[in-house]
Structure 1
């Protein structure tokens, strides 16, 4: 019995190491000057899973490169931008998928979180793919309203599993994404 538990643990660890986020492009709104950008950059630099950050001042974007095999807290990214006094307008995350089957309105366990795919065709994701986060804390109010009309599950408004189907869920937090 101990051998079976050890084998299951090893497989879970091996799978977790393969499923990971690589980088994110975070577009902030409300930045009006270089000091605003600097304050946001300094706030983002405190994230323990970020290896380096590049900036694109013309697009008011920050390119966060994550540490290899680090546990990435996507909500913490949004919180750091808000802590600096600004808002997140858009977040696109590059994730490394290993034959992950996705379909519309389906939950997929990934990197210790549950991703809820919205407005996607059935497909198998392989290699690095960009996914756009569409939860309220990752998009503008206008974009959130647009996606609210497309998502029928209650978890889109609350972000928790308690308000959604439990099919494929591996965590309490559900992060809504599209491709």
Structure 2
């Protein structure tokens, strides 16, 4: 079975309250991460028709601060489907209600895995790639997976050769004291 990404896209908008703020008066990153996880779950579950769990999160960069009183909109779409997993692309934007100015605050990719009632992984519907953007997103997810595998093997503790990496540390704010 195959489905269009549009069939499971989800978006939510929420007013940011003082209770969501950190000590500097900006919205706490942890609150935004919680919302991101919720919408990734909703999107993946809608696509798979199963309970889903977060397997990994690929890169979370907070690009712009979010202020108390702004509306935050989170949009989620399935970008990639494996056998039992999905990559859900997320976009976070904030809008100043008074000025109407919209800021891109974050984009991230959550890998979600579909589960049955016993907690076992279950197959998910494939994705219908029907335009250039959907093909780009699917291919980009494959490339991110390959990069992740490369990073993991290069710095595996049992295979790490310290001497090969010492030159990287020369101009860093670190002191080697072996």
Fold equivalence (TM over 0.5) = no
Name the larger-Rg structure: 2
TM-score range (shorter-chain normalised) is under 0.3
TM-score, normalisation: structure 2? 0.22
Give the TM-score of the pair, scaled to structure 1: 0.22
Structure (1/2) with the larger strand percentage? 1
